[in-house]
Structure 1
């Protein structure tokens, strides 16, 4: 008997589901697929995949060529991607143009052998770098190839040296943007008297780099610090503050710490030694101490000559190092204040050089008098050749000596800023100082760049700017100057308008008639008595009549009606707001029909 379920209220008693579930379907294994079926399915998938794959670019070009084979002019091959372009190098804030060696005035007449020897000296540290650091400057590490050729070349005369530069370099005339020429000055290595100990004569110390001086990005063990950047001194373990300036150091901020290398006679000698960056100190016993730049205190260099020109003490055309020294020696009190205008201070190190050796530049190689220059190291690379042409005051104070010479960048200075700015090195001694002291002239710069940086070849692929529109198009779209801004209109208030409408409300200034005062009677001329003429009797001169006093101006008291009207209007508004009438909305008639739930 089947099991009955509970009685349903609608359909009555039903058969209940068996408590044991029965699995449906086949218990047998699936039938094996034949090889023919598999191959058929694989072929179908391949056909579908081939239909979904896009047509390649080459296939499209071939089909396009078949369609336009009758008209080949319509077929243009488009490469898959644009090839990489070599852009010409650039100098910040400068302009340059390629020139030919034959167009450089004085190129063939120069002694290129001396320039080649200076260039070969600069090549020694360049070739020694096996893994040179990445340089962001325009020339970068491109001087390595010409330097390798110079180190291996056997050149003993000027003709071969000139041929070497013409073979490995390209000339570019360079200057500051918008200026046709550059600017050159001179520097030298002064020879001054000094002492190893402090005496009554030698009282000014020459300091070495202090141990608490820190330059961002350099360690204390660095051989030499840069002449720019942030410089700090350490207080305690972690606190860093700006280093002392010139005034604080001259007042003894770092005195007594054992930093003195030698002692000089005056602060003027120390200032010029710091400006030149090196010096030869002759000791009392006949020896010589060579000192060279090591670090600075982080403040920007301020030329004291510019301060004297701005103050009108020395004219610009008479400015020289000799005139500055003369002014400081004649005015010691004013010289102290003048030095403190230049807050920059230089620290030195003692170098082991003989009297025959030249000073060492920032590149770390000995300088060559007449062939080494200091350049802006933020733009140029040490070892770059520059041909400088101009008329300079070398033989006399007048700029009449032709200067056409190939120089090599081997040094730098804090005052050397710009693409066409150089400081010419003239050697050591008083004579070199005289020439360098009067050097401040304009000159033309030609920079020699390696042929691997040919700007003409690189600029050949640069996109040209759009052509200038024709005159007809310019007439259709004239460029007019913008209209000047109109002056804002001043809105007058209602009170001012009412006051202007009623002239009687404004106080009228009463006019006072002019009083004519009589002029004073002229005083009689004095008569000088003479021995022949009797003395005249004394006469009484009447005094001038007093000028009548003018009655003081009396302003009539006019009652202002403007304020009264304003008060009246305000009172009326307040009264109206108190007696405002509110109207009621009439009631809507109620409907006679109502729903049951209302």
Structure 2
């Protein structure tokens, strides 16, 4: 869903270094690191979520987000048809084979690759022999968290502008500067800074309102034109989608980067304004509001200053796979999830126990952590990939469930 390529420049690196000094200075003046505040406070003693400490004094024991579990703790573990999860696991193995931790994962991956027409029981036996389950736990000691859904929408578009195709889908602009802060300080891994040059200064990049008003030059980066601003807005939230062109062919748009501004939920905003109730604030409910209030739509969309840029990808004939996620492998419908990589390693199997969208019907199955998202923050937090099309969109738009998560790790990958 959300991934980006490092684009380091001298001025932005200097800005990152200055920001780092500011963060470390602030850290040194604080006697307690609030839970979940570590990314902004890497030098504090004992600076893990839930830990406290003063400079020069021993820290209290850090809270541990992973607690050892037994296979019997996983509800309905023996009922899941793991044959549906095996292809997604093999996709994770492809990515993990290129990473430093591959030796830890190699035995399980090679054994899985060697299975020939395996039964669900054989796959379950493999996982039980090669992995240890760990219960994901919040800083307050609870083990329940939010599970939302996302999907790959279908839009109508054209390669040339003309009614009704007047909404621009933008690629990454050439003046967008981006740096991985982990290159400056390892503790800031997975954090990225974005901006633009204004003279000899680096300033924040343009907001959504500035981009849509044309204050930012497109710089020849228009990929396509689509016919619906609301669908384009939700395409940016989902992170990827497909566009049907006038000749009937389709192309795929994948997340490439974003402008660095914070995400603001327009559904939450409508609830705060009293224009809808909390249970109405779904994707479907927001689209209904947009159709009923066309003259107020632009102001509502611009209340979210974040703007997403895309790249175009070809779709293979008969391709039933999803777009590439942050792990750089295709997502598998109903078997891939987005997670917070600060707490769940990308590529890892995760057993999810939740309920189906807007129901109490159990949804318990083995998933693969193959994606990330700017709104996916926290230990027990997941975004469930439903796949492509209207039915997937209906499920994703209604999904706001509570759930538990167990990450499965091979020996040596587990925390001490």
SS in 2 for 1:113: helix
- TM-score computed with the length of structure 2 as normaliser: 0.78
**Conserved? CA contact 2:170–2:218, under 8 Å:** no
TM-superposed CA distance for 1:206, in Å, is 0.2
SS in 1 for 2:409: strand
**Conserved? CA contact 1:375–1:413, under 8 Å:** yes
The answer for the alignment partner of 1:214 in structure 2 is 177
Residue 125 (structure 1) aligned with residue 87 (structure 2): no
The answer for the alignment partner of 1:404 in structure 2 is 364
The answer for the alignment partner of 1:421 in structure 2 is 381
SS in 2 for 1:216: strand
TM-superposed CA distance for 1:162, in Å, is 0.4
**Conserved? CA contact 1:288–1:355, under 8 Å:** no
Residue deviations 1:495-552 (CA, integer Å, cap 9, x gap): xxxxxxxxxxxxxxxxxxxxxxxxxxxxxxxxxxxxxxxxxxxxxxxxxxxxxxxxxx
The answer for the alignment partner of 1:204 in structure 2 is 167
Rate the CA distance shift 1:240–1:140 in 2: closer, same or farther, 3 A.
Answer: farther
Residue deviations 1:250-270 (CA, integer Å, cap 9, x gap): 001234521111111122111
Rate the CA distance shift 1:256–1:245 in 2: closer, same or farther, 3 A.
Answer: closer
TM-superposed CA distance for 1:156, in Å, is 1.9
Residue deviations 1:413-439 (CA, integer Å, cap 9, x gap): 100001110000011001110010000
Higher strand share: 2
TM-superposed CA distance for 1:452, in Å, is 2.3
TM-superposed CA distance for 1:126, in Å, is 1.3
Residue number among 370, 373, 393 corresponding to 1:433 in the alignment? 393
The answer for the alignment partner of 1:371 in structure 2 is 335
Residue 277 (structure 1) aligned with residue 247 (structure 2): no
TM-superposed CA distance for 1:307, in Å, is 1.1
TM-superposed CA distance for 1:376, in Å, is 0.8
Larger RCO: Structure 1 or Structure 2 (Cα < 8 Å, ≥ 6 residues apart)?
A: 2
Rate the CA distance shift 1:402–1:246 in 2: closer, same or farther, 3 A.
Answer: same
Q: Write out aligned runs for 1:183-332 (5 A).
A: 183-217=146-180, 229-236=192-199, 238-255=200-217, 257-332=219-294
How far apart in 2 are the matches of 1:151 and 1:364? 19
SS in 2 for 1:176: coil
How far apart in 2 are the matches of 1:326 and 1:228? 35
Q: Which runs of 5+ in 1 are unaligned?
A: 1-89, 133-138, 219-225, 459-598
The answer for the alignment partner of 2:121 in structure 1 is 159
TM-superposed CA distance for 1:362, in Å, is 1.3
Residue deviations 1:357-412 (CA, integer Å, cap 9, x gap): 2221111111101100001123322111111112222xxxx413220100000111
The answer for the alignment partner of 1:335 in structure 2 is 297
TM-superposed CA distance for 1:188, in Å, is 0.4
How far apart in 1 are the matches of 2:408 and 2:93? 15
How far apart in 2 are the matches of 1:217 and 1:206? 25
How far apart in 1 are the matches of 2:197 and 2:317? 38
Residue 382 (structure 1) aligned with residue 346 (structure 2): yes
Rate the CA distance shift 1:385–1:305 in 2: closer, same or farther, 3 A.
Answer: same
The answer for the alignment partner of 2:134 in structure 1 is 172
The answer for the alignment partner of 1:110 in structure 2 is 80
Q: Write out aligned runs for 1:541-556 (5 A).
A: none
How far apart in 1 are the matches of 2:147 and 2:48? 19
SS in 1 for 2:80: coil
Residue deviations 1:157-194 (CA, integer Å, cap 9, x gap): 21111011101111112121222311100000001111
SS in 2 for 1:337: helix
How far apart in 2 are the matches of 1:228 and 1:273? 23
**Conserved? CA contact 2:104–2:411, under 8 Å:** no
SS in 2 for 1:379: coil
SS in 1 for 2:192: coil
Q: Write out aligned runs for 1:63-74 (5 A).
A: none
How far apart in 2 are the matches of 1:416 and 1:91? 19
How far apart in 2 are the matches of 1:418 and 1:140? 25
How far apart in 1 are the matches of 2:212 and 2:168? 9
SS in 2 for 1:128: coil
**Conserved? CA contact 1:362–1:412, under 8 Å:** yes
SS in 2 for 1:386: strand
Aligned residues: 347
Residue deviations 1:295-332 (CA, integer Å, cap 9, x gap): 00011111111111222221112221000111112112
Q: Write out aligned runs for 1:506-525 (5 A).
A: none
How far apart in 2 are the matches of 1:125 and 1:247? 37
How far apart in 2 are the matches of 1:97 and 1:291? 39
Residue deviations 1:216-236 (CA, integer Å, cap 9, x gap): 249xxxxxxx99521111345
Rate the CA distance shift 1:308–1:111 in 2: closer, same or farther, 3 A.
Answer: same
